[in-house]
Amino acid sequence: MKIIIEDIGPDDEEEIIIRCREVDETIMRFVNRLKIKKEKLAVRQGEKIMQIEPGDVYYFEAVDNKVFLYLDKNVYETRLKLYELERRFAGTDFFRVSKSVILNLVKVENFYPAFNGRFEALMKNGERIIISRQYVPLLKNKLGL
């Protein structure tokens, strides 16, 4: 596969063109990865508004009509709804595991069984997230099982 990188002027818009015979899983993953790297999320912590990289997010959680982002140690709020985040990060490492949580699979340390067909995801920061029974088949599918 040939990789061509061209220098462009400071005012030109950066672009990536992929020329391929068919859009397979590898290419889709590459595109989604780029999407995560390039996008920033506007978040709030108290009065402060800042931008963070989606790849740093461990999980999104909806609580009482508010959506929070959980990073390694910090928690931020976003104005986006959970379904909007789900759409925005469709096909990436983000995956909906219950009615109120979307988690970043890359930040999962391990899965454990919980009660009654549910599972628990142990995150790399030690937090535990419940995976609802109805999302387990989708998770299996996502992980290629």
Partner 1 sequence: MSDLVDKIKSMIKTFSYVTTGVLFSTALFISVFKPQASLDVTLLWQILCTTLICTLGNLLYPSREISTKQIVIRMFIHYLYIHVVIFSCAYFFDWFELNNGQMRVFMFICITVVFAAVSWFTWHEDKKTSELLNHSLEKYRKRE
Q: What's the closest the beta carbon of residue 62 comes to partner 1, in angstroms? A: 12
Nearer Cβ to partner 1 (8/28) = 28
> What residues are paired with 48 via a beta bridge?
45
Contact 58, 70 (CB under 8 A): yes
Nearer Cβ to partner 1 (52/130) = 130
Q: What's the closest the beta carbon of residue 134 comes to partner 1, in angstroms? A: 6
Q: What's the closest the beta carbon of residue 8 comes to partner 1, in angstroms? A: 28
DSSP per-residue codes, 23-73: --HHHHHHHHHHHHHH--EEEEETTEEEEE-GGG--EEEEETTEEEEE-SS
Which residues bind to partner 1, rule: CB under 8 A? 29, 33, 98-99, 105-106, 108, 110-119, 130, 132-134, 136-137, 139-140, 143-145
Q: What's the closest the beta carbon of residue 36 comes to partner 1, in angstroms? A: 11
Residues ≥6 apart with Cβ < 8 Å to 130: 97, 98, 101, 114, 118, 119, 120
Nearer Cβ to partner 1 (51/110) = 110
Nearer Cβ to partner 1 (44/98) = 98
In angstroms, the CA 73 to CA 106 distance is: 16
